[in-house]
Chain A
Amino acid sequence: MGLEIITNNLGFFFDGAVLTLAISLSAIVIGFALGIFMGLARISRIFPVRMIATGYVEALRGTPLLIQIFIIYFGLPSIGIYLSPIVSGILAVGLNSAAYQAEIIRGGIQSVPKGQLEAARSMGMSYKQSMRRVVLPQAMRLIIPPMTNEFIILIKDSSLVSAISVWELTLVAKELNAKYFDPFTVFLFVAVVYFVMTFATSKILRVVEKKTAIPGYGAGD
């Protein structure tokens, strides 16, 4: 036993890891698309827009992800919406991440010194123009480190969708544990696989951070 459990089931683990990555990537995309929208809405000058975005962030950030997964998977059918386990999982993780990403994006925008916006405005740019050409490009660079954090957390949190029978890495591990009863080997190996994924994510984004760094301004060694 021991290592054989792993070598005999590499294909099974691989499929699980691929699904974990696929779920995480899809959720990151959903989270970013919605997050940027919500993040901007959070600092909107229009009160109802700001209120809706704040409500979204507080609600999604203030309730457990596992409960959100259960609401989408087990709850929505009672109002006639049937999403497959995988889609439910991606949606739940993505919507949850959007709340955190919205806050990261808002923080990024607000970290750009006010003088930048004022300078852009005084050069004759409209609010929209100065946002798009001056503030956002800087904010996008500033959010890379906290986004790295968020993506890593998201990859790990994706393990929660095993609770709705999605065959990602964690459910594969549970299945093999139910078969071989060797939790130490199985879960330690899965931990290593998760670590490889999160470590790679961290390294890739560090490269992006350095490549996009403005010389003499902020990040990058």
Chain B
Amino acid sequence: MRDNRMVWRAFGIIVVVALVATAFTGCIGVRQSSVDAIKARGTLIVGTSGGFPPFEVINETTQQLEGLDIDLATRIAQELGVDVEIRDMDFTALVGAVKTGMIDMAIAGMSITEDRSMSVSFSDPYFTADQAIVVKESRTDINSPDDLAGKRISVNQGTTGDFWVDENLVLTGLVAAGDVHKFGYASDALLDLVADRVDALVIDSPVAAAYVAATTGMKVVYTIVTSEFYGICMNQNSVELVAFVNELLAEMEDLGEMQTLVDKWF
């Protein structure tokens, strides 16, 4: 008898959870990230992942995120005639957030990849980057990707640097999966290297350069040429918005506005 009651109780809980879940999906529906919807709302919701200089990093005085991507977000909002709201989150959460309509777009130094393009749409490229290996200045034994065999490496989870390490070092058996420390924020991956918890950090080359400039005792020892293009990530349904952003990017490029932006941050 008692066992039976327990099963029924568990069943009841599952039913309630399922009902609540369906109720929520049912009544809220997918938020539209169309140009009209954003204008009607009056706010452009942009997702990013901080600690990624000079694209998105906290300004210590204003305590707000700033950087090339943030300027870009502000510029897009301005062109749409709306306010901008920046939402800072784990890098791993961004594409999902765009897909589910939680944010209108992600501007987060995100490389355009085939895998991501299956789930979301990208704008035209606005920046190019490679991957870089960062180590402590005192290290002399790591000078190329080959030297990473058997070493501990930190990465920003879900980034192309993470994927590069998985594909070229973990799947080939050169580095144990447990020796790759993955962090949701790039700055925590850097912290891991600063704390001597790993031997090297693999991250986008412009960010590596910014870290080396801002943190003493770090150096870039190798640039892995991956020729990646950063794009603004948007929902696949937001066809009009993608076109709008592309048009603006082209205009900024033509007017030299993009160059001014790059010069400002590099």
Task: List residues of chain A with CB under 8 Å of any chain B CB.
Answer: 73-74, 77-78, 82, 85, 163-165, 167, 171, 174-175, 177-179, 181-184, 188, 199, 203
Contact = CB atoms under 8 A, between A and B. Distances in A.
A167 B178 contact: yes
A178 B158 contact: yes
B157 A175 contact: yes
A174 B154 CA distance: 16
Contact of B197 (A82, A179, A182, A183): A82
B92 interface: yes
23 contacts: A73-B195, A73-B197, A74-B192, A74-B195, A77-B196, A78-B195, A82-B197, A85-B197, A165-B183, A174-B90, A174-B93, A174-B157, A174-B158, A175-B157, A175-B182, A177-B93, A178-B91, A178-B92, A178-B157, A178-B158, A182-B96, A183-B97, A188-B21
B92 A174 contact: yes
B147 interface: no
A184 B100 contact: yes
Given A82-B197, A181-B120, A74 B93 contact: no
B197 A77 contact: yes
Interface size class of B (residues with CB under 8 A): 20 to 34
A174 B100 contact: no
B184 A181 contact: no
B96 A181 contact: yes
B219 interface: no
Given A74-B195, A167-B177, A174-B90, 4 more contacts: A85-B197, A163-B184, A163-B188, A181-B120
Given A165-B183, A183-B96, A183-B100, A82 B196 contact: yes
A181 B188 contact: no
A198 to B, nearest CB: 11
A178 B163 CA distance: 10
Q: Which 7 pairs from chain A and chain B are nearest by CB?
A: A178-B158, A178-B92, A183-B96, A165-B181, A77-B195, A181-B95, A181-B119
B28 interface: no
Contacts of A77: 195-197
B96 to A, nearest CB: 4
A179 B182 CA distance: 14
Contacts of B162: 178
B6 interface: yes
Contacts of B195: 73-74, 77-78
Contact of B191 (A74, A181, A184, A203): A74
B136 interface: no
B181 A175 contact: no
A145 to B, nearest CB: 17
Contact of A183 (B93, B115, B177, B178): B93
A177 B181 contact: no
A110 B62 CA distance: 51
A203 B9 CA distance: 12
A5 B175 CA distance: 25
Nearest to A86: B178
Interface in B177-205: 177-178, 181-184, 188, 191-192, 195-197
Nearest to B182: A165
A101 to B, nearest CB: 27
Nearest to B18: A188
Interface in B115-138: 115-116, 119-120
Contacts of A203: 6
B27 interface: no
B10 A199 contact: yes
Contacts of B188: 163
Given A77-B195, A82-B197, A181-B119, A174 B184 contact: yes
Interface in B132-173: 154, 157-158, 162
